[in-house]
Amino acid sequence: MIILGFESSCDDTGVSIFCSNRGVVINLVNNQSLIHKDYGGVVPELASRDHLNKISFLTNKAFEKSGLSFSDIDAVAYTIGPGLSGSLLIGSSFAQTAAWSMNIPAIPIHHLEGHLLSPLISNAKLEFPFISLLVSGGHTQLMAVNKIGDYNVIGETLDDAAGEAFDKIARLMGLDYCNGAEIAKLAVNGDPDVFQIPRPMFNSPSLDFSFSGLKTAAMIRIKELQSKEMFDHIARANIAASVQKSIIDILIHKSYLAVKRTGIKTIVVAGGVSANNLLRVTMLDSLKSLSCKVYFPPLELSTDNAAMISFAAYLRLKHNLINMNSLKYNLSVKPRWNLKDVNSIY
Ligand code: KG4
Ligand code: ZN
């Protein structure tokens, strides 16, 4: 089975082709960071326009590079939500039209289900049940995953997501690209112990998270250093290292508690923040004492991409989790959609 996938929930346009006997054949992503960098966040109107500009070009390129053609495709998959409505509508319209023109099914996929299942792409040994730590720009959740489509939230952020904290602090620091990857790069040369950045809710037995106080504490520190003209490259690296360490300490500690509390000894980390190298290394190390297996998606599939969308559609088809009769050609999207209700559209 060969599935053409589209992702356009925020500021990445993704096109992929997944083949059941070859895996991810092609995965193309166009990131819009440079378009939004002067506005302090993603501008929805600009994001939609850029998806529109890039999606057909990327689709043609995917076919050109893979050597496949439209007639080889058995189904089209696309992100239906959650995300920015305008951006989602570009992907859904394009995917539905492509599927309609070829008379094949168009399968809507929940963006977070795509992230959550992405570690299965490269880890055939990964078995259910597992704990999922989903850490992206919009979400921070711990879930007990019993099987595909059976997701129980056991902890989540009460305010900002972990990725959002990274992004907002990167912006306060005046970094070119406002994201966690830039903080991680700066942190390589920093000392995490020079500045104390708090770890909210670290000592609470709850599996919930909170990152807004951490962000405010970092902001106060940065402003103080700036006002004293002490925000030089060493201080910047030290702030980056402290912020990164605090966020990661919280994520790891709560994951540790989740494993202990549920007795589930497999943990899967997914979403954009899972690209963080320190998180990967420390998570593996910290959960060793619980004899816990830890899985991540391949690095290039950690941040938003369409391969995870076509792969999730493949898994749903393979496990008969889609009622084909209920999938009408329908252009509506789901900008807000809780993962626990994921089965409602199938
Ligand atoms: O999953 P994703 O690509 O998009 C959403 O669904 O939100 O996640 C994006 C988030 C951003 O907040 C970005 O700062 C974070 O992932 N991120 C990282 C790293 N790479 C991306 N955070 C920490 N370290 C990284 N290396
Ligand atoms: Zn995402």
Whether 150 and 229 share a structural domain: yes
Mutate to test the pocket of ligand 1, among 243, 299, 303 (most ligand atoms within 8 A of CB): 303
Q: What are phi and psi of 278, to 5 degrees?
A: -65, -40
Q: Is 136 known as a binding-site position?
A: yes
Cα torsion angle, 213, 217, 222, 223, sign:
positive
The answer to whether the predicted template modeling score (pTM) of the entire model surpasses 0.95 is: yes
C-alpha 40/C-alpha 188 separation (Å) is 25
**pLDDT > 70 fraction of the chain, expressed in percent and rounded:** 99
Whether 291 and 151 share a structural domain: yes
Position 149 in a domain? yes
pLDDT value at 12 more than 90? yes
3-class secondary structure, 192: coil
Whether 250 and 134 share a structural domain: yes
What total number of domains does the chain contain?
2
| CA 211–ligand 2 middle distance (angstroms) | 18
Query: Considering every ligand atom, which ligand is closest to the CA of 164?
Result: 1
101-129 pLDDT per residue, tens: 999 999 999 999 999 999 999 998 999 99
| CA 195–ligand 2 middle distance (angstroms) | 30
Mutate to test the pocket of ligand 1, among 10, 79, 175, 273 (most ligand atoms within 8 A of CB): 273
| CA 186–ligand 2 middle distance (angstroms) | 23
Domain range spanning residue 252?
127-296
Q: What are phi and psi of 174, to 5 degrees?
A: 75, 30
Whether 99 and 164 share a structural domain: no
Res 337: pLDDT: 94
| CA nearest neighbour of 278 among 229, 241, 310, 235 | 241
Query: Considering every ligand atom, which ligand is closest to the CA of 297?
Result: 1
245-297 pLDDT per residue, tens: 999 999 999 999 999 999 999 999 999 999 999 999 999 999 999 999 999 99
**Listed residues: CB within 5 A of ion ligand 2:** 136, 304
The two three-digit tokens of residue 307, written as one number = 């391969």
Whether 105 and 134 share a structural domain: no
Whether 291 and 192 share a structural domain: yes
C-alpha 338/C-alpha 19 separation (Å) is 29
C-alpha 77/C-alpha 107 separation (Å) is 5
Is 142 within 8 Å of 129 (Cβ atoms)? no
Q: Is 276 known as a binding-site position?
A: yes
Is the omega angle on the peptide bond into residue 205 within 30 degrees of 0, that is, cis? Answer: no
Whether 330 and 244 share a structural domain: no
Q: Is 180 known as a binding-site position?
A: yes
Q: List, in sequence order, every residue forming a beta bridge with 106; answer none if it has no partner.
A: 76
Query: Considering every ligand atom, which ligand is closest to the CA of 279?
Result: 1
Tell me which residue has its CA closest to atom 23 in ligand 1: 180
205-218 pLDDT per residue, tens: 999 999 999 999 99
Instruction: Return mean pLDDT, the chain.
Output: 96
Position 136 in a domain? yes
Position 108 in a domain? yes
Whether 84 and 180 share a structural domain: no
Position 31 in a domain? yes
C-alpha 144/C-alpha 223 separation (Å) is 40
Whether 163 and 291 share a structural domain: yes
307-335 pLDDT per residue, tens: 999 999 999 999 999 987 777 667 899 99
Res 306: pLDDT: 98
| CA 72–ligand 1 middle distance (angstroms) | 33
Whether 164 and 272 share a structural domain: yes
Position 121 in a domain? no
Q: What is the CATH number of the domain that holds 250?
A: 3.30.420.40
Whether 167 and 272 share a structural domain: yes
Q: What DSSP character marks residue 300?
A: G
186-198 pLDDT per residue, tens: 999 999 999 999 9
| CA 138–ligand 1 middle distance (angstroms) | 9
Position 122 in a domain? no
Q: Is 341 known as a binding-site position?
A: no
Res 328: pLDDT: 67
Position 159 in a domain? yes
Position 232 in a domain? yes
Q: Is 135 known as a binding-site position?
A: yes
Residues having CB closer than 6 A to ligand 1 are 10, 115, 136-138, 163, 166-167, 179-181, 184, 271-273, 275-276, 303-304
| CA 173–ligand 1 middle distance (angstroms) | 17
Whether 307 and 168 share a structural domain: no
